[in-house]
Amino acid sequence: MNRKIALAVLLAAAAGSGVAQDKVLRVVPHSNLSILDPIWTTQYMARNHGYMVYDTLFGTDEKSRVQPQMVDKWSVSPDQRLWTFTLRDGLEFHDGKPVTGEDVAASIARWGKRDAMGQKLMSFVERMDSPDPKTFRIFLREACGFVLEALGKPSSNVPFIMPKRVADTDAFKQIEEYIGSGPYIFKRDEFKPGDKAVYVKNPKYKPRKEKASGTAGGKLVYVDRVEWNLALRDAQAQVNALAKGEVDVLERPAFESYEQLKKAPGVVLVTKDPLGFQYMGRFNHLHPPFDKPKIRQAALAAFSQEPFLRAQVGIKEFYKPCASMFTCGTPYGSAKGSDVQSKSNMRKAQELLKASGYDGTPVVILKPTDLAAIQKLPDVGAQLLRQAGFKVDLQAMDWNTVVSRRAKKEPPSAGGWNMFFTAWVAPDIWNPLTNAAIGSAGEKSWFGWPSDAKIEELREAFARATDDKKKRELAEAIQARAFEIGTHAPLGEYVNPLATRKNISGWVIGPGDIYWNVKKN
141-156 pLDDT per residue, tens: 999 889 999 999 999 8
Q: Residue 377 in contact with residue 491, Cβ under 8 Å?
A: yes
> What does the pLDDT average to over 48-64?
95
Of the pLDDT bands very low, low, confident and very high (cuts 50, 70, 90), residue 436 is very high
Torsion on CA atoms 102, 104, 109, 114, rounded to nearest 10? 150
What's the pLDDT at 4?
Answer: 56
Cα separation, 14 vs 224, whole angstroms = 7
Q: Which class for 329: exposed (0-12), middle (13-18), buried (19 or more C-beta within 10 A)? A: middle
From first CA to last CA, the distance across the chain in angstroms is 38
Strand partners, 270: 498
Cα separation, 71 vs 312, whole angstroms = 41
Does the pLDDT at position 361 exceed 90? Answer: yes
What's the pLDDT at 16?
Answer: 45
What's the pLDDT at 37?
Answer: 97
In sequence order, what DSSP letters do the residues of 267-314 get, joined into one string? EEEE---TT-EEEEEEE-SSSTTTTSHHHHHHHHHH--HHHHHHHHT-
Q: Residue 122 in contact with residue 112, Cβ under 8 Å?
A: yes
Cα separation, 32 vs 229, whole angstroms = 9
Strand partners, 160: 56
Q: Work out the angle at residue 491's Cα, subtended by the Cα atoms of residues 229 and 160, and round it to the nearest 5 degrees.
A: 50
Cα separation, 103 vs 239, whole angstroms = 43
Q: Residue 294 in contact with residue 356, Cβ under 8 Å?
A: yes
Cα separation, 106 vs 160, whole angstroms = 11
Does the pLDDT at position 518 exceed 80? Answer: yes
Instruction: Name residues whose C-beta falls within 8 Å of residue 485's C-beta, 6 or more positions apart in sequence.
Output: 293, 296, 440, 450, 452, 455
The residue type at 303: F
Average pLDDT along the chain: 94
What's the pLDDT at 156?
Answer: 85
> Which one-letter DSSP state was computed for residue 60?
E
285-297 pLDDT per residue, tens = 999 999 999 999 9
Of the pLDDT bands very low, low, confident and very high (cuts 50, 70, 90), residue 3 is low
Which of 73-87, 277-291, 424-438 is predicted with the least confidence, judged by mean pLDDT? 424-438
What's the pLDDT at 20?
Answer: 46
Q: What percent of the chain is modeled with pLDDT above 70?
A: 96
> What does the pLDDT average to over 342-365?
97
Cα separation, 309 vs 316, whole angstroms = 9
Instruction: Name residues whose C-beta falls within 8 Å of residue 152's C-beta, 6 or more positions apart in sequence.
Output: 56, 57, 58, 59, 60, 66, 67, 69, 215, 216
The residue type at 294: K
What's the pLDDT at 466?
Answer: 81
Domains of the chain listed by start with CATH number: 37-178 (3.90.76.10), 277-494 (3.10.105.10)
> What does the pLDDT average to over 36-42?
95
439-478 pLDDT per residue, tens = 999 998 999 999 999 999 999 999 988 888 999 999 999 9
What's the pLDDT at 369?
Answer: 93
What's the pLDDT at 19?
Answer: 44
What's the pLDDT at 17?
Answer: 38
